[in-house]
Chain A
Amino acid sequence: MKYSAASLLKQALGGQRKWPPFVAPTILKPHYDIVIVGAGGHGLATAHYLAANHGVDDVLVLDSGWIGGGNTARNTTILRSDYLLPASFALKNFALELWAQLSQDLNFNLMYSPRGYIDLAHSDGELEHFMLRANAMRLAGADVDMLNRRQISEQVPGIDLGLDARYPISGALYQPAGGVVRHDAVAWGFARSASSRGIHIQQNCAVDGFDIQSNRVVGVATPQGQISADKVFISAASATAPLARLAGLRLPMEPINVQAFVTEPIKPVLDSVVNYNAGLCYVSQSDKGELVLGGATDGYLSQARRGSFARIEDTLARALQIFPFLSQLRLMRHWSGTADIPMDGNAIVGATPVDGLFVNCGWGYAGFKATPAVGWSMAQYLASGELPGLLQPFALERFASGALIDDAGIGPYPWRH
């Protein structure tokens, strides 16, 4: 059923009784052309674009839990593409182009809000770095500007630009197309669209093995039985490495806990997304009114999905540097997710040494913003067999060959990214 003000009205008059499920219940078939392991944003987006762009609908998406229940449900919803390295920028910028029309494409209001992303610099040197990024982005056709201190204070009323702050702000990079989107809606929107096009989505069905013959994957094993497939695509964030192990592969990445938190909801006080760079802190305000904040990872290996409160304190200290008045607010809830971070801090996408087995992982805490671009590109790859240019840099082989994509220049230390 199409979503619209008209259908909303009609259904309201009928007591809401005729709304269909957003994902059709399915009975598993013994075989699919493509099995996608992981019903998070990336996996579901891939499913949607397989059907929408390529007419490929003999696809099954499996998840060990509930739809979008991994990092898609836990992130801070920020969209931007201001990354230094061309490979990182290109994919994320393509995503921004897709985000702009995605609610309409999916007929699901994702609450896409291009309210502007402001990346603060704390020294002239840092400012110059941002200008480098901005110039690269402009050359590639993206809209980006630098803001001086006066312009920052106009965009962000109430921001503390005092020179007696610990790391005074010298200026900022500004990406107007950056912003936020409602994370849950993204998973639901892609799921609903894929399902409406005939793709099967099965929750609470874990994959516990792979059927590999002569170095080719021919199926997956689940508690609900064996399912054969021509292609298997694992897109399961930090669960990808253990799954890949089952297929005999080791992936060069580690799981690190990352936390985010919200304040109690208040009337609008912040209209853009602001990122503080002397020790990380990013903050935006949700449409419900909560301030949503996040910062650096917890800095050590973990899969516990809970972390140290010290990290919350560090992030908050920085939030209060830019918005001292936040001290009047209260922390309402904090949560964690597991960021899978590879050895150069950038994603691993594409083929594996096992024929027919593909992975998409290693997005760490930067994957949500790339969702539609990854889905689009992987759908193209799975449907046509040709690796799209946007995905080429993210190949697994790059660690052996030295073609690293390390945006922050940190090195093979996942817990520092």
Chain B
Amino acid sequence: MLLIPCPHCGERDESEFDYGGRALALPALDASGDEWHQALHLGNDSEDCVDEYWYHAGGCECWIRLRRSLSNHAFVEPGSSTGVID
């Protein structure tokens, strides 16, 4: 069970959250189909740490953006690859 560091509520159990996937930026609504295809489908950059969205359904009901290692599930500081949020 992940312990998710909600910036509003503190560390809360995974069961309180809904997952929103990799943090993909949506292109402008009038952007081309190819831009949308690239943005929506091809975000997997095979890096170990990913930015992702979580929704704190059982708490502040906010969408948050966190960064996490896919190999060991440690939440890291946004933008870093090693700074573990402790």
Chain A residues in the interface with B (C-beta under 8 A): 241-242, 245, 250-255, 299-304, 308-310, 343, 399-400, 412-415
Q: How far in angstroms is the closest Cβ of chain B from A234?
A: 13
- Give residues of chain B (34-48) contacting chain A, Cβ–Cβ below 8 Å: 34, 37, 40-42, 44-46, 48
Distance, CA A254 to CA B19, complexed state (A): 14
| Complex CA–CA separation, A302 to B21 (angstroms) | 11
A253 near B1: Cβ-Cβ < 8 Å: no
How many contacts between A and B, using CB within 8 angstroms? 56
Residues in B with CB closer than 8 Å to A414 are 21
Q: Are B70's CB and A252's CB within 8 A?
A: no
Question: Can you list 10 residue pairs at the A/B interface with Cβ under 8 Å?
Answer: A241-B46, A242-B46, A245-B45, A252-B41, A252-B44, A300-B52, A301-B21, A302-B73, A304-B70, A399-B37
The answer to the question of B15 belonging to the interface, with a C-beta cut-off of 8 Å to chain A, is: yes
Closest to A344 in B: B41
Q: Would A250 and B21 count as touching, CB distance under 8 A?
A: no
Q: Which 8 A-B pairs have the closest CB atoms?
A: A252-B41, A242-B46, A250-B42, A303-B70, A300-B19, A245-B46, A399-B41, A308-B1
User: Using Cβ atoms and an 8 Å threshold, which residues of chain B touch A255?
Assistant: 70
A415–B45 touching, CB < 8 Å? no
**How many Å from the CB of B43 to the closest CB on chain A?**
8
Closest beta carbon of chain A to B53's beta carbon, Å: 10
Q: Smallest distance from the beta carbon of B4 to chain A beta carbons, Å?
A: 10
**B41 A308 Cβ-Cβ under 8 A:** no
Q: Contacts of B21 on A, CB cut-off 8 Å?
A: 254, 301, 413-415
Q: Return A308 CB to nearest CB of chain B, in Å.
A: 5
Chain A residues near B48 (CB, 8 Å)?
303
Pick from B15, B40, B45: contact of A343, CB under 8 Å? B40
Q: Are the CB atoms of B70 and A310 closer together than 8 Å?
A: no
Q: Which residues of A contact B73 (CB under 8 A)?
A: 302, 304
Contact with A along B26-61 (1 / 0, CB 8 A): 000000001001001110111010101000000000
Contact in complex: A415, B19 (CB < 8 Å): yes
Contacts A241-B44, A250-B45, A310-B14 given; indicate if A304 touches B22 (C-beta within 8 A): no
Known contacts A303-B70, A304-B70: does B14 contact A250 (CB below 8 Å)?
no
A53 to chain B, nearest CB (A): 34
* B84 partner residues in chain A, CB cutoff 8 A: none
Contact call A343/B71, Cβ cutoff below 8 A = no
B62 at the interface (CB under 8 A from A): no
Q: Does B2 contact A (CB under 8 A)?
A: yes
Q: A242-B46, A412-B40 are in contact. Are A302 and B1 (CB under 8 A)?
A: no
Docked complex Cα distance between A206 and B70 (Å): 21
CB distance from B29 to the nearest CB of A (A): 17
Find out whether the CB atom of B44 lies under 8 angstroms from the CB atom of A308. no
Taking a contact as CB atoms under 8 Å apart, the answer to whether B37 and A308 are in contact is no
Smallest Cβ-Cβ distance to B38: which chain A residue: A250
With contact pairs A304-B72, A304-B73, A415-B21 given, residues A310 and B44 touching in the complex (Cβ less than 8 Å): no
- The answer for the CA separation of A254 and B44 in the assembled complex, in Å, is 7
Once the chains bind, are B71 and A303 in contact (CB under 8 Å)?
A: yes
A309 to B19, CA, bound (A): 17
Given contacts A255-B70, A301-B22, A415-B21, contact A309 B1 (CB under 8 A): yes
Q: In the complex the two chains form, what is the Cα distance from A302 to B72 in whole Å?
A: 8
Residues of A within 8 A of B1 (CB): 308-310
Nearest Cβ on chain A to B17's Cβ, whole angstroms: 9
- Which residues of chain B are within 8 angstroms of A309 by Cβ–Cβ distance? 1
Name the contact of A301 in the complex, choosing from B41, B42, B70, B72 (C-beta under 8 A): B70
Q: Is the CB of A252 within 8 A of B46?
A: no
CB distance from B58 to the nearest CB of A (A): 13
CA–CA, A343 and B24, complex, Å: 13
B71 touches which one: A252, A304, A310 (CB < 8 A)?
A: A304
**How far apart are the CA atoms of A413 and B18 in the complex, in Å?**
13
Chain A residue nearest to B48 (CB atoms) is A303
Among the interface residues A250, A251, A299, which one has the most CB atoms of the partner chain B within 10 A? Answer: A250
Which has the most chain A C-beta neighbours within 10 Å: B15, B19, B44, B45?
B44
CB distance from A210 to the nearest CB of B (A): 14
A299 x B19 contact (CB < 8 A): yes
- The answer to whether A253 touches B44, judged by C-beta atoms less than 8 angstroms apart, is yes
